[in-house]
Structures are given as C-alpha cells and as structure tokens.
Amino acid sequence: MTELKKNQMYRYLLVLTICATAGLYVWRSLFDNFVVNEIGLNGSHVGILQSVREIPGFLALLVVYVLLIIKEHRLSALSVLILGAGVAATGFLPSFYGILVTTLIMSFGFHYFETTNQSLTLQYFDNKTSPLVFGKLRSFASASNICAGIIIFVLAPILNYLQLYLLFGGLIVVASLWALSQDPCDKNLIPQRKKMILKKRYWLFYFLTFMAGARRQIFVAFAVFLLVKKFHFSVQEIAALFIVNNVINFFLSPFIGKCIVIFGERKVLSLEYFSLIIIFLSYAFVESKIIVAFLYIADHIFFNFAIAIRTFFQKIADPKDIAPSMAVGFTINHIAAVFLPAIGGFLWLVDYRITFVVGAVLSLFSLILVQLITGQLE
C-alpha cells in the first residue's frame, strides 16, 4: 500500500474521486429542498428531472469517440470540472428549465468521470492491485460524503442555496483545474482502441453489468420509498442511515478489495447475489422497522461488491479493449434506468412485494450465471 500511495495515477484518481463524489452528494442533498422550497416544483417535474439525470449514463458509450480528440486522464479531469460547473450554476437558475440544464451538465460530468475512472484504474493497476485501488477509492468516496454532509449541516443555517452550490461547485472546479495541469500518464501503457467494442466472449461481463444496474435501480427507486411509505422513516432517520452506510463503507470497502484478491471474483459475487436474494425477499415480507433498517444497510454494503465485475473483466479482456468496454459497460449498466422504475412503479400499485420478489429472481439468475466465471478465467 505504501507503493500505491506513491503512484501518480492513484493520487490523481483519488483527488478526482473525492471531488466527484462530494459534488454528487451535495447536489442530491440539497436537491429536494431546493426544487420544492425555492422553485416550487411538483412530483411530475421531479420525475422528469430524475429521468434526465440518467441520460448521460446511458450515453456513456460516446466516451469512446471523445477519446479520439482528448487523452483519457484529461477527459477524467475535464468531466469533474463540468460536474463542478453544473453544481456551481444550480443556484443561479432557480426554475424548472434552469435546473433541467444544470442537472444535465452535472450528470454528464459525473457519469463520464466514473467511466474514465474505472477504465484508468483497470489500465494502470494489475489484477492483484486493482481491487485494492477500487476499494480504497470507494472508502475515500464514503469519507467525502460524510465530510460534505457535516459541512452542509454546519453551513445550511448561514448560507442560502445559491451560496452553498457555488461554494462546493467552485471548490470542485479549482481542484479539477489542478488535475488538468497534471500528467500522471505512463508512456509505456498499452494504447486503447478508439472504437466501439462488443465481443461475444465478454457476454458474461455484459450480463452481470446489466444486472448490477437493475439491482441499483430497485435499491434507489424503491428501497428508500419502502422505508418512508410503509415504515414511516423520518428525514432524520433516513439521513442517519445514510451516515451509518458511509461510515461502514469507509472501513469495509478496502476489505472487500482484499477479499477479491484472496478469494476471487466468483466467490465474492456469489456471496453478493445469494445475500441479495435474502435481502429482496426480506424487503417484501418483513414487518419490523429495525430489521428493514438493517436490510437497507446490508443492501448498501453489497453494492460495493460490484467491484468484482470489473476486475473479472480485467482478467479476461484484451488490454486494448478496457477503455471502450468500460464505456459500453456503463451504458449497459444504465439500460435498466430507462424502463425499470416505470415497470416497478406499476407493479408497486398491484402489490409492493412483487417489485422486491422480481429483484430476488434477478439475483437468482445472476447467482447461477456467476458460477461460469471460473470457466471464463481458464
């Protein structure tokens, strides 16, 4: 780990990860109160805004073509700069169409950074080191969420929305300008293909990536909704759960990375999907507020196991395919965001339990197919 800290690319990605994660956290933390209290939007407006926020993730495959004109590490820093600019501008445009624009800007920055972040990590660190790097980056991302939350808590009574957005967005822009002045590249690195890559032998990576996106949508769209709608969690209780999640993940994420190195991707992902079956079924049938709170925390923890999908790909991929494949994978991950919330919402009207039973069935399919990982690695 000492050698890792000396690595220029690790430090580069660490700074950008902290900025991107804190920026998204600030935007999400202030969003609901800002659109309701400052702009006066209703539920339909918020639904449209949340759908718009997912568009850049679905268009992440375009990163391949952007890389034709800009180096990947610079695109990573530029993406964080765009994110910061979107956050900083939010308070200046207190209208539906104004926040529609700033949401799109912020989201393009965040999703394009995440795509290049994953790609650069897999390119610059071998398959024994990349799980550790992913784990450490997620750990610091959790820490940045906690720090941003504390700062908002302290400054919210003093500053208005415009000032809060401008403060955090401005700091992110300054940090990204520093990153743009850096050159952490390894000149001997294998050059990446600058075209779309879809290969039959990567089918298991594509499938697991899609399922991870579907699972994320169920968690984001319906798990918190269940806590509020059925179990009547307050804003403070949800906030407390979020803090607990980030504190746990700060310590646990590096351990997950080590487990991938020691036990391999198949065993780690098998544990994830087996646990998700139990968690989703429990969401559907538990009646205890305390138990469902523990389920929410466990659900959030297992989200970090998705690191193993990317490190599995690293082991089976042609090194030249990593950048374009991460872009394609990010788009595949967001396909579910286009239709799953709508379908899940319809099923919820019939019986909320159906939504979570579907999640358990999807996890079962993933558990079965993840057993094929060993064969693909041979």
Q: Which residue has the tokens 């990317």?
A: 310
Sketch the domain layout of the chain as residue ranges.
1-183, 192-378
The class that CATH gives domain 1-183 is mainly alpha
| Calpha distance 20→260 (Å, rounded) | 25
The reply to whether 192-378 shares the fold of 1-183 is: yes
Q: Which residues of 230-269 are buried (b: 16+ CB within 10 A; e: fewer)?
A: ebebeeeeeeebbeebbebbbebbbebbebbbeebbbbbb
Q: Does domain 192-378 have CATH number 3.30.450.20?
A: no
| Calpha distance 232→283 (Å, rounded) | 15
- Condensed to tens digits (0 to 9), the pLDDT of residues 304-319 reads 888 899 989 889 888 8
* Amino acid letter, 277: I
Q: What is the pLDDT along the chain (378 residues), one digit of tens a residue?
A: 556 667 788 999 999 999 999 999 888 878 767 777 777 766 567 667 767 787 888 888 888 888 888 888 899 999 999 999 999 999 898 888 998 899 999 999 999 999 899 889 988 888 888 888 888 999 999 899 888 888 888 888 888 889 999 999 999 999 999 999 988 877 777 777 777 778 888 899 999 999 888 888 787 777 877 887 788 877 678 778 888 888 898 888 889 989 999 998 999 999 999 999 999 999 999 999 999 999 999 988 888 888 899 989 889 888 888 888 888 888 888 887 667 766 777 777 788 888 889 889 999 999 999 999 875 665
